[in-house]
């Protein structure tokens, strides 16, 4: 006789009401998407209208800063702008993934979960949030559970480009190897990724591998090494579309006050659509609301939408103020003044959920005398610590700026090797391994020293 058992699983979760869901959706939008959304509100809801005069227009001129990236250089005879390439990559990359959903045999619920996971991917194509966090930060009525999300992730990991949706580098490389024609080299490469990834570039690797896997010859191991090295560590890299971002309307600005010199934060009017309640209709509803339930519902919807707009403004402005406070040196000295700043830390300081801050950062831009930057530019983990082990460390973008300045000032006949740059950074108290310097140099699109060398 088969015994049946009942297991209870307790999980603390937060149910989002309609107003909260609407606010989060509006917060996630770019200024262009928001403008289109507001147009649909005006067309659908007679209780909403545009004001005759912009109440936010104080008559003072708004600061104008070029959308060109402050660090621009020539690479392969093409002018490239790092940050805007990344912005274009991010938009086109996610769009490409969303379009692939209909190409796979997914039912409606599965497709919805995959769409959700795509929005959680970072700019490099990795899924940094745990499935548990995604479930717990989703509305209760979506009825998500980790098993369903795990299934959705397996589907997403079958999308192109290979490696997308991985939780870390190792998983991304294994996903890419799984699509290779199986042979001894591929099987060996899988073992290298699983057991020897930190040592993948070492010349002594074949000897280490043969001790653990004697079935592979030195030639096979070397071929597997080369195969792993040829894989893409960043699934989203280089996937910008044909229409690159040429110009965006920034959402907020930071500038020094012309009188006091103190840095201040403000909002660009064009990035924030002006819409208000139609007062005439509102007054009529107050008097005859019981006789027009449809319009009363429209009034409630209009109030929710306007509240979402105000919440979006408040959150993005508070975020910009936090960036000004934490990254003050950037606005005086440029990228070299950036310090590590995380979404988690910012969320705690603002008293918001991490997912809320992540949505606020999405596709929002800040203009300042240094140029126009995605808000994400100001967030990064510590890339290195000084020899004095200071608590804040140094951000990845600050380290990149230092590497860029070293290359700009090097003798072109005797360019600096990655080890030489590591040594020079150490003289400044920044302890960074040679391979880390090489990684940042590659992300900056600078070739190695022997390729930068110029004849006298």
Secondary structure of 100-169 as H, E, C letters: HHHHCCCCHHHHHHHHHHHHHCCCCCCCCCCHHHHHHCCCHHHCCCHHHHHHHHHHHCCCCCCCCCCCCH
Query: Residue for token digits 């110029």?
Result: 454
User: Is it the case that residue 89 has pLDDT exceeding 50?
Assistant: no
Contact, 305 vs 41, CB < 8 A?
A: yes
> In the structure, what pLDDT confidence band is assigned to residue 82 with cuts at 50, 70 and 90?
very low
Using an 8 Å Cβ cutoff, are 294 and 46 in contact? no
Local confidence band at 281 (pLDDT 50, 70, 90 cut-offs): confident
Where are the chain's structural domains? 16-51+274-377, 92-230, 396-451
Q: Rounded to whole angstroms, how far apart are CA atoms 19 and 22?
A: 5
Q: Write the pLDDT tens digit of every residue in 108-130.
A: 888 888 988 988 888 778 888 88
Identify the band that residue 54 occupies on the pLDDT scale cut at 50, 70 and 90. low
Condensed to tens digits (0 to 9), the pLDDT of residues 322-361 reads 999 999 888 888 877 888 888 888 988 999 888 788 888 8
Nearest Cα to Cα of residue 233 among 158, 174, 156: 174
Looking at every residue in the chain, the average pLDDT score rounds to 78
- How confident is the model at residue 241, as a pLDDT? 39
Task: Report DSSP letters for 204-262, one per residue.
Answer: THHHHHHHH-TTS-HHHHHHHHHHHHHS-SSTTTT---SS-------SEEEEE-TTT--
Parallel/antiparallel/unpaired status of strands 365-368 and 252-256: parallel
Tens-digit pLDDT profile for residues 288-300: 656 667 777 888 8
Average pLDDT over residues 253-281: 87
pLDDT of the residue at 209: 87
pLDDT higher than 60, residue 239? no
pLDDT at 270 over 70: yes
- Find residue 385's DSSP bridge partners: 431
For 399-431, how does the pLDDT look when each residue is reduced to its tens digit (9 = 90+)? 888 888 889 888 888 889 989 888 888 877 777
Q: Of the candidates 206, 205, 170, which has an alpha carbon nearest to the alpha carbon of residue 190?
A: 170
Q: What is the pLDDT of residue 371?
A: 84
Average pLDDT over residues 39-48: 87
Instruction: State the pLDDT at residue 156.
Output: 94
Give pLDDT, residue 291.
62
CA distance 357 to 19: 17
CA nearest 90: which of 316, 375, 335? 375
Work out the average pLDDT over 96-100. Answer: 84
pLDDT at 88 over 50: no
The helix/strand/coil state of 271 is helix
What per-residue confidence (pLDDT) applies to 90?
44
367-397 pLDDT tens trace: 888 888 888 888 876 665 554 444 456 777 7
Higher per-residue pLDDT: 177 or 91: 177
Under the banding of pLDDT at 50, 70 and 90, the label for residue 434 is confident
Q: Which residue has the tokens 């195969």?
A: 227
Q: Which candidate, 284, 288, 253, 272, places its Cα nearest to that of 375?
A: 253
CATH number for the segment(s) 396-451: 1.10.10.60
Q: CB–CB of 401/334 below 8 Å?
A: yes
400 vs 22, higher pLDDT: 400
**For 200-231, how does the pLDDT look when each residue is reduced to its tens digit (9 = 90+)?**
777 778 888 888 888 999 889 888 888 888 88
């Amino acid at each position: 006789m088969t015994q049946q058992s009942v297991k209870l699983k307790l999980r603390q979760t937060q149910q989002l009401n309609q107003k909260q869901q609407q606010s989060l959706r509006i917060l996630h939008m770019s200024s262009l998407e928001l403008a289109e959304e507001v147009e649909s509100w005006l067309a659908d809801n007679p209780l909403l209208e545009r004001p005759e005069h912009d109440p936010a227009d104080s008559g003072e001129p708004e600061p104008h800063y070029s959308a060109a990236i402050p660090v621009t250089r020539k690479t392969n005879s093409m002018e490239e702008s790092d940050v805007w390439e990344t912005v274009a990559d991010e938009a086109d990359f996610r769009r490409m993934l969303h379009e692939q959903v209909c190409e796979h045999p997914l039912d409606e619920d599965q497709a919805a979960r995959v769409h959700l996971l795509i929005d959680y991917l970072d700019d490099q194509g990795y899924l940094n949030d745990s499935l548990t966090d995604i479930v717990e930060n989703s509305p209760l009525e979506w009825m998500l559970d980790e098993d369903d999300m795990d299934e959705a992730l397996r589907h997403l990991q079958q999308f192109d480009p290979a490696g997308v949706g991985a939780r870390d580098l190792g998983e991304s490389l294994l996903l890419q190897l799984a699509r290779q024609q199986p042979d001894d080299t591929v099987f060996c490469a899988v073992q290298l990724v699983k057991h020897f990834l930190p040592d993948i570039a070492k010349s002594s690797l074949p000897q280490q591998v043969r001790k653990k896997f004697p079935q592979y010859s030195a030639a096979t191991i070397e071929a597997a090494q080369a195969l792993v090295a040829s894989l893409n560590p960043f699934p989203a890299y280089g996937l910008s579309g044909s229409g690159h971002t040429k110009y965006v309307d920034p959402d907020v600005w930071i500038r020094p006050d012309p009188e006091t010199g103190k840095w201040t934060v403000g909002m660009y009017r064009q990035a924030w659509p002006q819409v208000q309640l139609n007062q005439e209709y509102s007054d009529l509803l107050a008097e005859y609301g019981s006789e027009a339930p449809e319009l009363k519902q429209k009034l409630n919807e209009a109030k929710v939408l306007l509240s979402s707009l105000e919440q979006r403004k408040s959150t993005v402005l508070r975020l910009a103020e936090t960036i000004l406070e934490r990254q003050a040196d950037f606005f005086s000295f440029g990228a070299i003044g950036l310090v590590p700043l995380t979404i988690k830390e910012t969320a705690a300081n603002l008293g918001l959920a991490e997912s809320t801050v992540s949505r606020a950062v999405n596709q929002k831009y800040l203009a300042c005398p240094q140029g126009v930057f995605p808000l994400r530019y100001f967030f990064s983990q510590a890339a290195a610590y000084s020899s004095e082990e200071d608590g804040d460390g140094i951000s990845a973008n600050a380290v990149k700026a230092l590497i860029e300045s070293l290359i700009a000032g090097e003798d072109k006949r005797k360019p600096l090797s990655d080890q030489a740059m590591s040594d020079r950074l150490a003289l400044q108290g920044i302890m960074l391994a040679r391979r880390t310097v090489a990684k940042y140099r590659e992300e900056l699109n600078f070739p190695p020293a022997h390729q930068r060398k110029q004849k006298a």
